Amino acid sequence: MENRILRPAATADVPAIQTVLQAARQIMWESGNLRQWGPDYPPLEAILSDIRRGGGFVFEQAGDVVAYFALLPSPEPTYREIRDGAWLDDLRPYHVVHRIASLPSVHGIFRDIMDFCFSRDANIRIDTHRDNAIMRHNLLKYGFSYCGIIHVSDGSERLAYQRIADSC
């Protein structure tokens, strides 16, 4: 971690988190991922819920918030049903990672986030949009396995991944 500090997000961080999320949306749109995050995603209530649940985290660098993500315990309702595949393990508890976002000037943040997540739980699930080539690349590079297709609350499909650290 290049002089980055990881800490739980606080409600006072919300304006900075929203700036980071806007930068991430821009990166997605410029890379051809036009459908995963619309201009109002994630909604403010999702971020506030992450924070209330103790699952919202920020990385600070030189005193500025440069990244945001949520690490939340199972169950994830949209993961109950998976199509065209199966979870690596569908019996034991897991954590899910949502809303990974960083400023474009920050590098290596995905690895830092995942290293932290796996320090909390060996069983991690995550999903992403088919058009999110950057995230799909990072997931496979970090050792996640593609498991199948899930549908999020609005009905749109996402590609689902899981990694169980003690099996990798």
In angstroms, rounded to a whole number, what is the distance separating the alpha carbons of residues 102 and 24? 6
- pLDDT (tens, 9 = 90+) of the chain, 168 residues, equals 468 999 999 999 999 999 999 999 988 888 887 778 878 889 999 999 999 999 999 999 999 999 999 999 999 999 999 999 999 999 999 999 999 999 999 999 999 999 999 999 999 999 999 999 999 999 999 999 999 999 998 899 999 999 999 754
Residue 2: the pLDDT is 62
Tokens 């950057």 found at: 134
Going from N- to C-terminal start, the domains of the chain cover 4-167
Neighbours of 50 (CB within 10 A): 23
Asked whether 152 and 77 are in contact (CB, 8 A), the reply is no
CATH code for the part of the protein at 4-167: 3.40.630.30
Residue 73: the pLDDT is 97
Residue 104: the pLDDT is 93
3-state class of 91 per DSSP?
Answer: coil
In angstroms, rounded to a whole number, what is the distance separating the alpha carbons of residues 56 and 104? 20
pTM of the model: 0.92
Tokens 């997931």 found at: 139
